[in-house]
Structures are given as C-alpha cells and as structure tokens.
Amino acid sequence: MSATVGTVYLVGAGPGDPGLLTVKGLACLQKAQVVVYDRLVSPRVLAHAPQQAERIYAGKSAAGHEMEQEEINALLAAKAKEGKVVVRLKGGDPFVFGRGGEEAERLAGEGVPFEIVPGVSSAIAAAAYAGIPVTHRDASSSFAVITGREDPGKAWTRIHWDKLAGGVGTLVVLMGVETLPETVAKLREHGMASHTPAAVIGWGTWPKQRTAVGTLADIVAKTKDAGIGAPAVTVIGEVVRLREKLRWFDSKPLFGRRVLVTRARTQASALAERLEELGAEAVEAAAIEILGPRDYVTLDRAMRKLPETQWAVFTSVNAVQWMMDRMESQGRDARSLAGVKVCAIGPATAASLRSRGIRADYVPEQFTTEAIMQGLGGEGRLEGQRIVLYQADIAPQDIVQALEGRGAQVQRVAAYQTVTPAGAAERAKQALAEGVDVITFTSSSTVEHLCALLGEGAAAAINRAKIASIGPITTRTAERLGVRVDATAEEHTIPGLVQAVLGLAKQG
C-alpha cells in the first residue's frame, strides 16, 4: 500500500446532457487517475478524464449490476490506498438516491480522504427539459422526491403515501417506471384525484428523451404506449399542465436525430456541440486521427525554398498547425513567408493563419479546384510560378494536376498524415448497427477511412443513412467510392455542414 493515501471525489455527473456537468466536477475529472463510472454517465463527460486514467465500469440497472454496491465501496477505498486520485462518477447527484452516502461512510470508516461534488439531479433537470417546472407560483409551492424502488430487504416502507397524496404540490418519482402501476394505485388509494396531471420522462436531458403526459387515470397506459422504460422520471401535479406552453428541448429542429461525426476526435467537439445544441444526438466515431508527417524531409525542403516561392496554399487548419510548428522548431517564424502570397482554403484555415501573424492574400469563396485556380492565376498561364501546397498525405491530386496543366511548378507537401484510430472499426460498426439518421463527412479522408474501416459492403451500409458532405471535393470522393451524398454544404465550413444537416432534417 502507498504511504500516501489518495483522495476520492464523489462527483455528480448530472442526468445525461454533458453540458450539465459542474465546473468543479470537470476539474476533478481532469486530474483523475481512476474513474469509476455509472451506466447513465455520458461518454462525452467521461472523455474529460485523462486518456491514461484507468476507467472502471460499475453500472447498475433494473436488469442487473456490473458490480454490487459493497464491491464498489471496497474498490474506491482500495484504489485510494494505492495513492491514486479517484473519481466516483455518478449519474445525477451522489446524495439523491445515488448511494453516495454509503460510499462516503465506507471511506470515512477506513480513513480515506474524500470530497462530495454535488451534481444536477434528474429530479429537477428531466422535468425542466420536458418543459415542466417542479414549482410554479400559480401551481405548486412545494415538491417532494421519492424513490420508486425501495430496498426490497426492508420490512416496511418509509414512504408515507397518505402524506404525499395530499401534502405536496409536486411529486417526483425516480427509478419508478417499473413500479408506476403500484405508485399510481397507492396515491389514488390515499385520496389523490384520478384527474391529477402526470408525466413520465424517459432518458431525461438526452437527445433520445421521450415524454408521456396524462393523468393518474391513464398515465400507466400512455407510458406503455410510448415505449418508455428505464431510466425515467415521473412528475405528478398541476405543474405538468405547463408542458405544452414551456416545452423547449424536444422542439429543437434536430431533436431525436442521431448524427454520426466521423471527424478526428480532437476536432470533433465543435461539430458535435453545435449538433447537440440543435437537439441531435452526436455519435462520435472518428474515422481518422491526425498525426505529424512521416518525416520532415519534404516539409523542410519547402521551407528552404520559400524565397523562391510565389504562392503557399494551406488546405486546412491541420496544414497550418504542422507547417508552422515545424517552422518554429527550426528557429523560424512568420517572417519566412515575407514576399510569398498565401492562399487559405476556408475561413477556419485563414483564422488559424491570422493567429500565427499571417494574413491570407486569397480565400476562395468556393473550395473547388476552379475557384482556387482563379485566385492563383485567373484564366492565364502560370509558367515560372512556384506553388507549394500544404496538404494531408492522402489529399486528392485534382488541384496539383490543374496547376501543372497551366504550367506552374508545383510542390506538394504532406504536412500531416491521417491514420486510423485504434478501435475505430468497432466503434463505426456499432454506431451503424444501432442506427444513425445522418452521417457527416468533413474531408475526403473521412470518407476514405470510413469505407476502409467498414470493408466490403461499406457503401451499402453508409447509404442506409442520409449523407451530408462539407464540400464538392469531399462529395466527389464519396461518389467515387459509391457513397450517395444527399446534401453538400453551400458554405464549405462546419457551420455550413450543420446547415446541410438541418436541410436534410426538414426533408424528413
């Protein structure tokens, strides 16, 4: 055992929406060496932990437990005694039916330091995401939260149904969809009117949230008809009537759509976050990973010849990053590009150059070979012009051939390489097997790598979903591989791609 005992942080991860993780919870996760997490923790939340952190699944459901509670208690203490920083990541709040009290008792008993980091409880959040306030000046001045699944070993219930039936404005039941008929029966038996409004919210705050609304007389049947199972939150009281006026989450334009994001994991967050802001479930299955070039020979040669170069063309943010980082490692800076005209493919690439002190001379409105050619040489010949293209290792050769056809001397530099991430094939196949509505492609390499990952029959598997492409070059690559593209972004950027996805959603 380590001489220094680590600390256990009992962290509430919130009910599902990764944006509901608290700032303190995020800080704990970012320094974790061990993460013990529950079934209802979003993968997006778990991704905040360091890559090298040990991840241990301790999920529980009505169907069974991955680990019994006593095993979890012992595990937390044992890992801390190894001198490690341990985060116990729990759905919702640790102390609202999360058994965090039992875990803290065990740690206290063994002299293990611990901290409690409260989380947003589904008791409040699920209702809010369904457009139901648990209190309201005109409808409810109190609310109570009860469990729908008491310890079966208890000799008697600790729930006072007689007081709940007439003593609180809003009743919230957690973990109670399986016992909903019994809950309704108990409340009616103790005098709650059959016409009392009720709602059951499945997967609250997740993009797959579903809500059934009725009264005590019919909510059981309506929940069954809606196919809502665990996890679910039940809300009973007059506040339920406000849902139709206040519903906001399930009215978003992409609500309920599953969108596959194939972009590299380090760059996927901007696209995923925007899609989720619009109500979609962003499924990240990175088809590529961005690495530096296999060697720097060509990149270094291009740098030495910059004084002889007329145009430097950067095709992506990655090209800027790897070329400029290499330049700085060699003791150079933006001054090396003095006298060289710079072309940036896309506003994001231009912005990346600006952050390095370089203003692009030309940013084509359309990211096509024709538009790039127009900016570099108009309709005329390019004899004597030396043009360097900073690209991915597998970038299409269309622009090279077109420039050389005009007489230019072109040097193509593989400034970075795209490789297949570990486990990518399994993640992609699982995502498609579970079903996606839209697949997004942000570059030719994302199309090529996804097809390679899926192997034989890739195009047929991909074509079962709608396809959105970031631009015509990516679209041409997809079509060459037999992938049908349903929408090509008019503006060849991430915001433009999101608009293309919205357009597909409107089509149904």
> What is the 3-state secondary structure of 209-241?
CEEEEEECCCHHHHHHHCCCCCCEEEEECHHHH
Q: Which pLDDT value is given to residue 10?
A: 98
Q: Which pLDDT value is given to residue 155?
A: 54
Catalytic residues: 38, 60, 175
> Does residue 346 come out as left (phi exceeding 0), alpha (psi in the -120 to 50 range) or beta?
left
pTM listed for this prediction? 0.79
CATH number of the domain within which 196 lies: 3.30.950.10
CATH number of the domain within which 401 lies: 3.40.50.10090
Q: Mark whether 115 and 217 lie in a shared domain.
A: no
Q: Which pLDDT value is given to residue 368?
A: 74
Residue 346 resides in a domain: yes
Q: Which pLDDT value is given to residue 374?
A: 79
User: In angstroms, how far is the first alpha carbon of the chain from the final one?
Assistant: 59
Q: Which pLDDT value is given to residue 387?
A: 92
The total number of structural domains in the chain stands at 4
Q: For 259-298, write each residue's pLDDT tens digit.
A: 999 988 777 778 988 999 999 999 988 888 888 898 899 9
Residue 116 resides in a domain: yes
* 437: Cβ contacts below 8 Å, ≥ 6 apart: 257, 258, 259, 465, 466
Residue 85 resides in a domain: yes
Q: Which pLDDT value is given to residue 54?
A: 96
Last residue of a domain, one of 93, 120, 147: 120
Last residue of a domain, one of 105, 120, 135: 120
Q: Mark whether 236 and 150 lie in a shared domain.
A: yes
The residue with greater pLDDT, 213 or 60, is 213
Cβ of 189: how many Cβ atoms within 10 Å? 11
Query: Does the pLDDT at position 3 exceed 80?
Result: no
Q: Which pLDDT value is given to residue 67?
A: 86
Average pLDDT, the chain: 91
Q: Mark whether 403 and 366 lie in a shared domain.
A: yes
Domain that holds residue 114: 8-120
- Are the C-beta atoms of residues 233 and 205 closer than 8 Å to each other? no
Q: Mark whether 80 and 151 lie in a shared domain.
A: no
The residue with greater pLDDT, 65 or 141, is 141
Residue 293 resides in a domain: no
- pLDDT class for 258, splitting at 50, 70, 90? very high
Q: What is the DSSP string of 263-296?
A: S-HHHHHHHHHHHHHTT-EEEE--S-EEE--S-S
For CA atoms 340, 346, 347, 352, the dihedral sign is negative
Q: Which pLDDT value is given to residue 63?
A: 56
Q: Which pLDDT value is given to residue 158?
A: 80
- pLDDT class for 153, splitting at 50, 70, 90? low
Q: Mark whether 175 and 190 lie in a shared domain.
A: yes
Q: Which pLDDT value is given to residue 106?
A: 96
Q: Mark whether 84 and 162 lie in a shared domain.
A: no
* 388: Cβ contacts below 8 Å, ≥ 6 apart: 302, 305, 306, 309, 311, 312, 313, 410, 411, 413
Last residue of a domain, one of 398, 419, 440: 419
Q: Mark whether 195 and 280 lie in a shared domain.
A: no
